[in-house]
Structure 1
Amino acid sequence: MLVVEPLPDAAARSATSPARIADVAARAGVGVATVSRVLNGRAGVRPSTRERVTEAIEALNYRPSSLARGLSLQRTMVVAALLPWFTSPSAVQRVRGIVDGLSDSGYDLMVFDLESQDRQRRAFELFDRGDRADGLLVVSTLPPAPEVERLHAAEIPCVLIDAVHSCFPSIAVDDVAGGEIATRHLLELGHRRVALIGDPPPEFRFDWSRDRTLGYERALAAAGIEVRDEYVREGTRLPQVARAIAAELLSLPERPTAVFAASDTQAIGVLEAARTLGIDVPGDLSVIGFDDIEVAAYVGLTTVRQPLVESGRRGARVLLDVLARHAVEPLRELLPLDLVVRSTTGPAPS
């Protein structure tokens, strides 16, 4: 059976389906072009007319199509976030902040996972044309030098989060200071045999791991303690890899009494290794991480907190300022770090 029903009028449509721009125009007694000018913030509309259009938008709960608005403005109305370790806890928290920062902007978010150098190259080639996204948020990595030139040539706004480059606004933390904070905490507890589990040489950038290692070395030097090569180990951010590395460290003839892990996920791997070997934490071994991901509080992990969510939120808002052609100062913004003492660190064993 074929049933044909009449098209609903504007009043009926408002109750059954989203309002259209034509409905707003009809209610305000203006043309569609006038409504469009109001929506896009353009001049040439009388205040009284603008007020009528705004009232009609509110009364009809009108939500403009991001696609249609993008076409009218010659924009995609999309922001792209490029980041490695997309499913890692710290990356998830940064993306949460980005989403919050863009929530009232009218921009949609596209996330691209840089799981390898090849995907990194492809991602920048994809987005440096400017027809996929109006701006880029590059997280925990740096654009390769050729891409920096192309992004500038194409005038594509780009903001870095957890990375620093002289050509782009950057939101970061002082990782050298963070490494010093973590190591100094262990030294103040009386530890002298302090190990470090960092990351391998950078696949993308990952200067933060190198800088945290530098902070570790500086804190030891300030205390008059030499860095022991056998106490400095490298691995990925995966906790199972950190667990295997920690098991080797904790099996040394003169094992460390404390471990600074360059990330909380690595620190959790150290805790698992200590539990497997029957080593008491913090009685026989102190462990400190970096990041303060959500699970850190549940396992009682002492850590250096960086504002992961706020870094994403701040990066998104800086990018919105750039997209709006507002002046952005300073070009490099450092967010604060805090030592969070929980139950995995304690005095060095006698």
Structure 2
Amino acid sequence: MARKSVTIRDVARHAGVSVATASRAMNGMDVVRPETRDRILAVMQELGFTPSPAARRLSLGRTLTVGVVVSFLTRPQAAERLRGVDAVLADSEFDLVIYNVESVQKRDHYLGTLAQSQRTDGLLVMSLPPPAEAVPALSRAQIPVVFIDVHTPFVALMPRVTGDDVMGGELAARHLLSLGHRAIGFVGDAVEDPFGFTSSRDREQGLNSELARAGVAIPSEWVGHGAHGRYEARDLAHRMLTASRRPTAIFTASDTQALGVIAAAREIGLHVPDDLSVVGYDDIEAADYVGLTTVRQQLFESGRRGAEILLSEIEARSDEPPISRLAPELVVRATTAPPKEGRG
């Protein structure tokens, strides 16, 4: 004969308390005296009682889930940020639900519905600028919404974790200038994109600003914009490196694109960094493996801080939106060196 399952009523009866008190103790509420809570927890262990997740959600009035809306999940930047989010949630009661966005339609659907539904207790929006028309509803949402790596003015009054892509571009330029480079190219994302991404644009702006202060301008033929990807970056770099006059250094808007530039250099017989210096951006795991000089934007830490802000906002909404700022850092490895004599 099958053994009857233990219920919360059995726990309450054995502990000599009401079902409501047993429920409050299991949910960690402070209204239960410590000695009573200890007795209830001891009875739970003795009877082998495990609270039902569904019942716990119902009693707390929460879903105990956190949603993350992230653009292009398979990109290494997204994966590293999600590792930071998961590191925080792993020590909490909350489950993580990921919504991958690779189209404007998906973005508009998730941002337009998730913050207004009862499917999650809080929402992280990662590297995905919201359209202007979605911002009022997001700011009035009953659940907290926290942005990570979103740098549009639309989210200025909302909780967020931000970097500084302009500063990152300046760091890359300063490093190349200090090595003696003056013939510098850039490979980044397409200028126009349906999502309104700003990172590549801002990194290029930082590069150009710092070079201008040193009296250096990038010729138009040494600027390549295209779809974000290693092979696209390889093709853009190949065009620059096979011209009659080629740059001695190339800064890219991401490490993925930097790997494409390195591949192009090798295909035409150039040695990195002897013939060409390359600087990436992000500091993904592969960057360390190939010895890539890059600008680190603290991907893991941005995810971790975003998750911490969100959990805090779920407990109690702040009067002022919390903002965490992370400064980029230059990481010098093996793909940059002074230009060959006479080629600066």
Specify if TM > 0.5.
Answer: yes
Q: Please, which of 223, 247, 256 is the counterpart of residue 256 of structure 1?
A: 247
- Between the aligned partners of 2:47 and 2:236, the Cα distance in structure 1 is 61
2:58 alignment partner in structure 1: 71
Out of 315, 332, 336, the residue aligned to residue 341 of structure 1 is 332
Distance 1:138 1:347, change over 3 A: same
Which deviates the most, 326-335 or 115-124?
326-335
Alpha-carbon RMSD:
2.1
Counterpart in the other structure of 2:141: 154
TM-score w.r.t. the length of structure 1 is: 0.90
The superposition leaves residues 158-185 of structure 1 with CA deviations (integer Å, 9 ceiling, x where unpaired) of 0001114213111121111100001111
1:24-39 map, 5 Å: 24-25=11-12, 28-39=15-26
Offset of residue 56 of structure 1:
4.3
The alignment status of 1:171 with 2:167, answered yes or no, reads no
Q: How far is 1:28 from its partner? A: 3.4
Aligned counterpart, 1:85: 72
Measure, in 2, the Cα distance between the counterparts of 1:60 and 1:286: 67
Query: What are structure 1's unaligned runs of at least 5 residues?
Result: 11-19
Deviations, residues 204-239 of structure 1 (Å, cap 9, x unaligned): 132121111110011101111123222121122210
Secondary structure at the counterpart of residue 128 of structure 1: helix
User: Structure 2: which amino acid aligns with 1:268?
Assistant: L
Which piece of structure 1 moves more, 275-284 or 198-207? 198-207
> Quick one: which of 81, 84, 88 aligns to 1:94?
81
Percent identity between matched residues is 46
C-alpha deviation, 1:245, in angstroms: 0.7
For structure 2, the 5+ residue unaligned runs are: none
Alpha-carbon contact 1:66-1:106 (below 8 Å) kept: no
Q: 2:108 aligns with which of 121, 125, 140?
A: 121
Are the structure 2 counterparts of residues 241 and 63 from structure 1 closer, same or farther at C-alpha, using a change threshold of 3 Å? farther
Letter in 1 for 2:39: R
Relative to structure 1, the CA distance from residue 61 to residue 262 in structure 2 (aligned partners, 3 Å threshold; closer, same or farther) is farther
Amino acid at match of 1:203: P
CA distance in 2, matches of 1:212, 1:112: 27
Cα deviation for residue 51 of structure 1 reads 2.7
Identify which range, 161-170 or 340-349, moves more after superposition: 161-170
- Following superposition, the deviation at residue 202 of structure 1 comes to 3.5
Work out the CA distance in 2 between the residues paired with 1:323 and 1:303.
36
**Matched position secondary structure for 1:101:** helix
Distance 1:9 1:207, change over 3 A: closer
Residue 242 of structure 1 and its aligned partner are, at CA, apart by 0.7
Alpha-carbon distance in 1 for matches of 2:224, 2:236: 7
Q: Alpha-carbon deviation of 1:74?
A: 2.3
Question: Which of 11, 31, 35 is equivalent to 1:48?
Answer: 35
CA distance in structure 1 between the aligned counterparts of 2:199 and 2:298, rounded to whole angstroms: 15
What number of residue pairs does the alignment pair up? 337
